[in-house]
Structure 1
Amino acid sequence: MKTLDAIAALIPTLAGRISAGAGASDVQAVVERLADDAAVAALEEISENVRLLDQLRLIVTGVIAGRSTREAGHGGLAQSRGYPSAVSLVQQVTGVTKTEAARQVRVGEALLDDAPVDDVEAGGLPAEQAASVAWRQVLRDGLRSGAVTSAQFDAIRRGLGDPPEGAEEAWVQAAGQLIEEAGRRTVEELAAAARTVRDLLDPDGAEARFLARYEKRAFRTWFDQDGMRRASIAFDDEGGAYLDTIFTAALRPRRGGPRFVDPTEKTSAAELVADPRTNDQLSYDLLLDLIRTGALADPTAVFGTRQAGLRLVQQIADGAPNRVAVTEDGLHTVPAAVAERRICDTGTIPVTVDACGNPLDVGRESRLFTPKQRIGLAVRDGGCRWNGCDRPASYCEAHHIDEWARDDGRTDIDRGTLLCRFHHMQLHHGRWQITRDGKDDFVLHHPDRERSVLHPRLPLRYAWGDIDPPPKRFHPAA
């Protein structure tokens, strides 16, 4: 087994400074005597050796994984040694977590799973397969050259995912750009950037992924062994981003300090900073406040002087909006349908920018239903207008049946209707449409051209006498 002095011989800054047979405490004493520049140099040299060893480990891990496939059965390399998979073997040998072992196997397989670069350059592969291999080869070259670490490699590869047919060249360019950014970005930033680039290049796939995550949304509670109720939440993209804005607005004085808030907020900000509760406890209390007060909450009572809200940014060029929007905070991508649906409820702030994205002009045009109009919608519709839905008016959003962002739709009761969040999302993402001729019934148009009338709630039809004869409970008193 190599001793610390033998390993130190591979590090120029430490070579000759550590005597034979030195222990960890001896090495620590030597390092503590290093000047600042020498300490940094030693870290750089160690990191380079670790990088090279990590590459070698990944290659070996990839080979082991290739010999431990499920198809190999009990005769596989890992299985024959009593491990159910290559991940379990790597975890045991290296002492890392299962998650890290899985990452090492994943990257190791990625290094070996495609045709050699010589085959690509020599034209030994069909054009489509060569294009598919090319962008991964860019990543492999980046890892082997040291431009990206194995963690960065994995973040970019998983973030980009496989390109749709015909977009392989764009993926090559995207991988190259992300590799160039790797030296000044964290792994988390690279992963987020890769996902954003993927969604911008593949808006159809972006919407499919958005809806897939939306289907995974979940909330459950349970009691632990001490009788304490606990909860687990899986957020969809929009819901998670919206909640982030709420807690960011409420806790920003705590996170950034009073110096980052408006002068009028300094007193309340200072009180929040001095509050003995932890951030997690404050978040919990805020969540309970939101649940208790619900839609009738006084914004100043919950958020201070500024109410939280999710702001989306969507590019519009030559009158056509981009098919992907991003959140202002975090730059998380969402399909254009999300922006269209939120426009119905919150309006927009048009911003004119130059070719570099510099704002030239900022205006505001409000397209919101007023509180009185929303009351009128509730009185007329009684809740979600979608056939078969039982959501009450308080659960609903006001939908403009005319897309005002494109068609200069009017914000009035005649051209609006109530939809619950689920059906509002269904309408925009599913390419449905609602129309109305004057004051006739609203008509829902299915994507396959089928039509159905959206009737108001049956009790309301009774109340307004839309039945003959009227139901018994509405007969005039004798």
Structure 2
Amino acid sequence: MDDIWKATDEELLLRVGAVQHELNTLSASLVPLVAELMTRGLAKVKGYRDTADLLRSVQNVARSTAKERVRAAEQLSPLYLITGQQVDPQLPVLAEAFERGEVTAEHVRVIQSVLASIPPHLDTHRPALEAELVQHARGLDPDAVAKLGKRALAVLDPDGPRPRDPRPSRNRLTLRPLGNGVEARGWFDTESAAVLRTALSPLTVPVPPVDGAEDQTRDERSTAERNGDGLVELARRMIGVGVLGTEAVQPVQVSVTVPLDTLTAREGAALLGFGEGGLAAVIAAEEARRLVCDARAVPIVLAATGEPLFVGRESRLANRAQRRALAQRDGGCAFPGCDIPPQWCIAHHVVHWIDGGRTDLVNLVLLCRHHHSMIHKGDWVVEMDGGFPVFHPPPWIPGGPRRNVLHRPDLVGRIPEQAAREPVPL
């Protein structure tokens, strides 16, 4: 590793990924070892309370870590009967992926936890859910897999566990003076909370940094602070105009003026105009291409002499019906592992509109601002497959092509071909 400074960026990233694969393989190698400890009953032989207590001493790890390793051995290792007959592991798909180093020990813990939450009357769904979670774990981090599993269980068992308090509760909001302000506390039923969150959504979007500004600090407000500001703004609008107003399909309207040779070469500068009477700003041509689908922008292509050759039409923008269809199909940002809701996303052209891409559902995908910028950098590639967006990672990220089903837990465990054939309602 002494020559690591000589590595290119891609080589360095590949090495980091390779080390993680080695760590996964080493973690998986513990499974048969711990299983053999249990089979031999060495914990009792050596005077320990249980196998987890033995591992704490032998490996010098926390008891919680030791218990996780024992649990992995119990469910991922085959059992051998007195007759010598082998019994398959409880979670064979997870066991195989872990042995190959395709998933981490954290993935194992998360998937075990999700499967343990399946109620008895839905136990027949366990194999399909295990296979689906393992498949997505190859491309999603453990936190995302946990969210996916929780949402999939909610779809399988929408009634959930029986509430402790069967008495119906009513919406309530308490405003109590506290210090130089007022403390608000409340409770809303699920339907009312959905209505409130929908109304607050356009007013609580994080404020992005201004491109080109010296101060590139992000919106430092917490979610609770943004919700508070949004609620106050909602009240101001209702008092002032009597209506809430609508959330625009696109946040801004701009014009991008770029010479034809610059547009073709994707190098050089373009002019970005901010609304009526706004001063134009000079930006890179590639940045202008990104803004064309990030905002309500109209591209204006100039000849070498300066006269306009082509003025783009607003028909390149996804209309309201298409936005609704995209929200139903993608559910939000389609980038793997992202849980940003659809109203905070833009409709990105898979084949850029300037390059001849059509404003059709088969050429549109919802992306949040962060992942939209990431796609434009070119490391990740998105394409449509069977009516759904599929993302291809750069070579230094293992796992191959992947989809984001965090927003569509109803598709988990189903045959992809069947899901792809379902019509998308407009």
Q: Same fold (TM over 0.5)?
A: no
- Per the normalisation by structure 1, the TM-score is 0.38
Structure that is richer in helix per residue: 1
Task: Kindly name which structure, 1 or 2, has the bigger radius of gyration based on alpha carbons.
Answer: 1
Higher relative contact order (CA 8 A, sep 6+): 2
- Per the normalisation by structure 2, the TM-score is 0.42
